[in-house]
Structure 1
Amino acid sequence: MMKAIQRFGGALFTPAMLFAFAGVVVGLGTLFTTEAIMGPIAAADTTWTKAWTVVLDGGWTVFNQLPLLFAVALPIGLAKRQAGRCCLEAFVSYLTFNYFVSSMLSSWAPRLGVDFSASAGSAQGVATIAGIRTLDMGVAGALLVSGVVIVLHNRLFDTHLPEWLGVFSGSTFVYMVSFVAMLPLAGAVVLTWPKVQVGMHVFQQIILGAGSAGVGIFVFLERVLIPFGLHHLLYAPFYYDNVIVQGGIYAAWANALPRLAAAGQPLADLAPWASLTATGWSKLFGIPGIAAAFYATARPERRKRVLALLVPVTLTSILCGVTEPIEYTFLFVAPQLFVVHAALAACLSMAMNAFGVVGVFSGGLIEMSSLDFVPLAATHGQTYLVALAIGLCFSAVYFVVFRFLILRLDLRTPGRAGEGDVCLNTQDEYRDAHGMPRAQDGRRLGADGEKADVDREDAYALRLVELLGGAGNIEGITSCATRLRVDVRDPGRVAAGGAFVAAGARGAVCAGRAVQVIVGLNVTQVAERVERALGLDG
């Protein structure tokens, strides 16, 4: 069960990876088309505004089509084979489902308590998806339909039909069955979802009424779930769906940017629903404090090497909001520090919220700049100066607390353990030490008789496969922001975390048959090469 949940959580992150660029485009477009900031050049009828409106409308693609993106993206992580074809099946089935819902509501909406004449995107629960007027189920509907299609695809795609029915095999057969399945599913949805929407409205009021305490609890849970790969499941419904605000926090904030940029009222009053995206403050201010503590507590003769290790992962956290590289640096050797980190992150977010610092702050500096600092600095710059002061104070708190605990408990953080604790050995050095042949002497797994590439990246992928117990031990592989998520048959055949570090990875976590290998921001390329090594690239 844990393995399935982890894979599902990783699959949810796939479309979210597009937000970094889309946020930059929307942020800049909003800035350059807001007359209150740019002056007369940004008036409605100027060539400047018309040109930037074209760019801005394109930037809205990701935010305006979130359900469709999630419906297509889920099979990438969960389809066991022919994921591309499963994406097509999910896309068509999702459209079919919405056509069924639309037709049912056109006939029976009054009896179901749905105002189908209301404008799309309103509080009445109606939306337009790919030109289809339907119930506003947000991402939940897309995940439901896509999940059903994935199950059918994994079971039926390879079904052998008589030769004279061969034209209906493969994706056509899956869609035929999905088409039939969508009818009762649509019927169940139109009967139950309006009641779910009422419950969600009540839940919204409870969460928003919790104030800073609710923000702190949310951020703490998000951090402590990271080692298990389940944090996506916590924040995805809030950020991308209708749980807190119509359309999800990200889309609602992006839509509200022009209004926020022109308004002088506090952001906490204008958009209180955005408070739960405070998970990024610890990435911006907490991680540097942790890195400074690691450097200060390292042995003097090793500090240069520790600094070389910490600088890139700290910058990754600050700029991109990806914290796994440095968090896993101490998670393996001092897990108690991770709990402290989660608690401090919660306190930091609560302090920000208490001082009225509200906005989309879940990513790194690049995302925050595009969706907050750049477009809103002219009217809300004072709020961000307050955030800077609070953040720097917490950087100092992080440093003092971590330094005290490391020294008091004599924790083996980087630079404090054995001679090789801050260096990454090459894979060939590891092979030599264990009496194994060099990578270039082996054969590529999954392709009999074919020599392995001498290219460094391919050799690295081959080494990861070996550490995971070999090709025969791997059932499936997907990727997250920085991690490979691998399903293995026998956990006992998986090497220890130190072996993965020696091969060039940041570490590995094994929870039953679910293994997470922390690779870094190039995880997509590494996953592709691992699949090639397994013979899955065709």
Structure 2
Amino acid sequence: MSSAGATAPQAQWWHGFYGGLQKMGRSLQLPVAVLPAAGILNRLGQDDVFGKDGLGWDNVAKVFAAAGGALLDSNLGLPLLFCIGVAIGMAKKADGSTALAAVVGFLVYYKVLQAFPVDCAGTTTLVGNQCVDYSSKKAANAVYQNPGVLGGILIGFVSAWLWVRYHRTKLVDWLGFFNGRRLVPMITALFGLAFACLCLWVWPPIGDALTDFSQWLSDLDAWGAGLFGLANRALLLIGMHQLLNTFLWFQFGDFTKSDGSVVHGDIPRFLAGDPTAGQFTSGFFPIMMFALPAAALAIAHCAKPHRRKEITGLMLSVGLTSFVTGVTEPIEYSFAYIVPALYGVHALLTGVSMAVTWALGVKDGFSFSAGLIDYVINWSLATKPWLIIPIGLCFAVVYYALFRFIITKFDLKTPGREDEDEIEDVTKA
């Protein structure tokens, strides 16, 4: 076999694998899009809004807190959202039966895990979700194996594969009622059962390893926040940043709320009022609200004179989107693949922002992204949120100066600086 023939299958395999990872990354964005609603509901249920320290509407506060908490629940709500989102996103031509199969598989998996508490030992007896010691008349919440969001993602992925594989399957005539889409939930239920049994055995060492890594990153303090920021932006290029975010944002760490319930993950802990949360979110605010809009302005100012008005309008739009909502991809993708070196500078500075913000004691978080909306809503939950403004302005100056210098110095083909023949070819296409 020639070397060219051997290389072709390898390249094809790699492109397929890479495309699958990108598709997974896009699928994870669907459940993430639900988080703003969860964050707002949860915020309205806090004591300083509708609760006892705010308007005094305690029952109203309970309603909103329960509604938001249902979506942010790291044991059931969040994993189920990710399970459904991944199943719909990964299955080709998915429909409602895809989501139904994912829910069936997840619920079977979840209840099997709940049947085997970890810490009901000694004289305690499992009653509901409590470990009760009748001799001392004390009770404590039972602890279970908790693959959390990662478990939901895996159930969703396999549900999508099973749906694609079996949704057109025809059985023998006397089982014809269970043909096709009606068959998939039954198969998915069996998989959920088997997967739960497997998790009871293999998750403890895997979970411990992930926790140890996250703890190591957390123990690095500002350096850990910086490394996370750098890796997060680097992985955005291939759509895999959500895979990195999942464990740290939604599973690592725990915080016990006033009602005795426990939440996990940097984002749910922050929204629940944990004053130690925000290590892996705080530093995004200066970048998304100030630095990237400044980079967009630099790109506009570097455009050729006859295209400057057009590019300024475009960059103003994407800059405002980043500032208000924290959606940065329109700006980042405008130069990431055209000028990778410029994106490398951006990824490095994002890590610096994460490190500096955390080192200065800023602790802030978001339900969706680090834009103005989350910044305002979560002001009273944050620690030193006012510092984000001067930090952000400093990064805005650095971004503008660096981007403008690098673009003009090396004549980089950012939007508005393309060769005229390239513009013409794009127009014809």
- Aligned CA distance change for structure 1 residues 106 and 343 (closer, same or farther; 3 Å): closer
Instruction: Summarize deviations over 1:102-137 as a string: whole Å, max 9, x none.
Output: 34x2799759xx9967759xxx9956xxxxxx5322
Determine the structure 1 residue equivalent to 2:86: 74
| TM-score of the two chains, using structure 2 as the length reference | 0.81
The answer to whether the Cα contact below 8 Å between 2:120 and 2:142 also exists between their aligned partners in 1 is: no
| TM-score of the two chains, using structure 1 as the length reference | 0.66
- Aligned CA distance change for structure 1 residues 72 and 16 (closer, same or farther; 3 Å): same
The answer to whether the Cα contact below 8 Å between 2:83 and 2:156 also exists between their aligned partners in 1 is: yes
Question: Distance in 2 between the 1:317 and 1:152 partners?
Answer: 38
Determine the structure 2 residue equivalent to 1:152: 162
Question: Distance in 1 between the 2:221 and 2:413 partners?
Answer: 38
- Aligned CA distance change for structure 1 residues 419 and 24 (closer, same or farther; 3 Å): farther
The answer to whether the Cα contact below 8 Å between 1:250 and 1:360 also exists between their aligned partners in 2 is: yes
Determine the structure 2 residue equivalent to 1:314: 319
Q: Secondary structure at the match of 2:272?
A: helix
Amino acid at match of 2:36: A
Q: Secondary structure at the match of 1:228?
A: coil
Post-superposition offset of 1:55:
3.1
The answer to whether the Cα contact below 8 Å between 2:118 and 2:142 also exists between their aligned partners in 1 is: no
Greater alpha carbon shift after TM alignment, 357-366 vs 174-183: 174-183
Q: Secondary structure at the match of 2:278?
A: helix
- Aligned CA distance change for structure 1 residues 29 and 423 (closer, same or farther; 3 Å): farther
The answer to whether the Cα contact below 8 Å between 2:88 and 2:160 also exists between their aligned partners in 1 is: no
Question: Distance in 1 between the 2:301 and 2:352 partners?
Answer: 24
Q: Which runs of 5+ in 2 are unaligned?
A: 1-16, 132-139, 256-262
- Aligned CA distance change for structure 1 residues 100 and 244 (closer, same or farther; 3 Å): closer
The answer to whether the Cα contact below 8 Å between 1:279 and 1:349 also exists between their aligned partners in 2 is: yes
Question: Distance in 1 between the 2:231 and 2:172 partners?
Answer: 53
Q: Secondary structure at the match of 2:237?
A: helix
Determine the structure 2 residue equivalent to 1:174: 184
Amino acid at match of 1:238: L
Post-superposition offset of 1:180:
3.2
Post-superposition offset of 1:32:
1.2
The answer to whether the Cα contact below 8 Å between 1:237 and 1:243 also exists between their aligned partners in 2 is: no
Count of residues paired in the alignment: 389
Amino acid at match of 1:394: F
Instruction: Summarize deviations over 1:416-446 as a string: whole Å, max 9, x none.
Output: 3345989998xxxx5xx4xxxxxxxxxxxxx
Instruction: Summarize deviations over 1:440-465 as a string: whole Å, max 9, x none.
Output: xxxxxxxxxxxxxxxxxxxxxxxxxx
Question: Distance in 1 between the 2:341 and 2:162 partners?
Answer: 43
Determine the structure 1 residue equivalent to 2:248: 238
The answer to whether the Cα contact below 8 Å between 1:8 and 1:78 also exists between their aligned partners in 2 is: yes
Determine the structure 1 residue equivalent to 2:373: 366
Determine the structure 2 residue equivalent to 1:328: 333
Amino acid at match of 1:102: Q
Post-superposition offset of 1:2:
1.0
Amino acid at match of 2:279: S
Determine the structure 2 residue equivalent to 1:410: 411
The answer to whether the Cα contact below 8 Å between 1:238 and 1:244 also exists between their aligned partners in 2 is: no
2:98 to 73, 86, 91: 86
- Aligned CA distance change for structure 1 residues 24 and 208 (closer, same or farther; 3 Å): same
Question: Distance in 1 between the 2:171 and 2:419 partners?
Answer: 62
Determine the structure 2 residue equivalent to 1:62: 71
Determine the structure 1 residue equivalent to 2:8: none
Q: Percent identity?
A: 30
Amino acid at match of 1:14: L
Determine the structure 1 residue equivalent to 2:233: 223
Post-superposition offset of 1:175:
2.8
1:15 aligns with 2:31: yes
Q: Which runs of 5+ in 1 are unaligned?
A: 43-47, 128-133, 261-269, 434-498, 500-538
Amino acid at match of 1:12: L
- Aligned CA distance change for structure 1 residues 82 and 340 (closer, same or farther; 3 Å): closer
Question: Distance in 2 between the 1:422 and 1:126 partners?
Answer: 63
Question: Distance in 2 between the 1:21 and 1:368 partners?
Answer: 15
Instruction: Summarize deviations over 1:463-519 as a string: whole Å, max 9, x none.
Output: xxxxxxxxxxxxxxxxxxxxxxxxxxxxxxxxxxxx4xxxxxxxxxxxxxxxxxxxx
CA RMSD of aligned residues (A): 3.1
Amino acid at match of 1:10: R
Amino acid at match of 1:214: G
The answer to whether the Cα contact below 8 Å between 1:96 and 1:179 also exists between their aligned partners in 2 is: yes
Question: Distance in 1 between the 2:351 and 2:290 partners?
Answer: 13
Instruction: Summarize deviations over 1:63-93 as a string: whole Å, max 9, x none.
Output: 1211121222221101124432111011112
Q: Secondary structure at the match of 1:23?
A: helix
The answer to whether the Cα contact below 8 Å between 1:125 and 1:136 also exists between their aligned partners in 2 is: no
Amino acid at match of 1:221: A
Q: Secondary structure at the match of 1:349?
A: helix
Determine the structure 1 residue equivalent to 2:5: none
Amino acid at match of 2:331: I
- Aligned CA distance change for structure 1 residues 327 and 400 (closer, same or farther; 3 Å): same
Greater alpha carbon shift after TM alignment, 335-344 vs 182-191: 182-191
- Aligned CA distance change for structure 1 residues 50 and 186 (closer, same or farther; 3 Å): closer
Post-superposition offset of 1:297:
2.3
Question: Distance in 2 between the 1:424 and 1:403 partners?
Answer: 26
Instruction: Summarize deviations over 1:272-322 as a string: whole Å, max 9, x none.
Output: x42111334311121122122123323444432222111110011111111
- Aligned CA distance change for structure 1 residues 305 and 28 (closer, same or farther; 3 Å): same
Question: Distance in 1 between the 2:371 and 2:312 partners?
Answer: 21
Question: Distance in 2 between the 1:328 and 1:418 partners?
Answer: 19
Post-superposition offset of 1:388:
1.0
Determine the structure 1 residue equivalent to 2:50: 33
The answer to whether the Cα contact below 8 Å between 2:105 and 2:191 also exists between their aligned partners in 1 is: no
Question: Distance in 2 between the 1:185 and 1:366 partners?
Answer: 39
- Aligned CA distance change for structure 1 residues 125 and 5 (closer, same or farther; 3 Å): farther
1:252 aligns with 2:259: no
Amino acid at match of 1:5: L
Question: Distance in 2 between the 1:360 and 1:308 partners?
Answer: 30
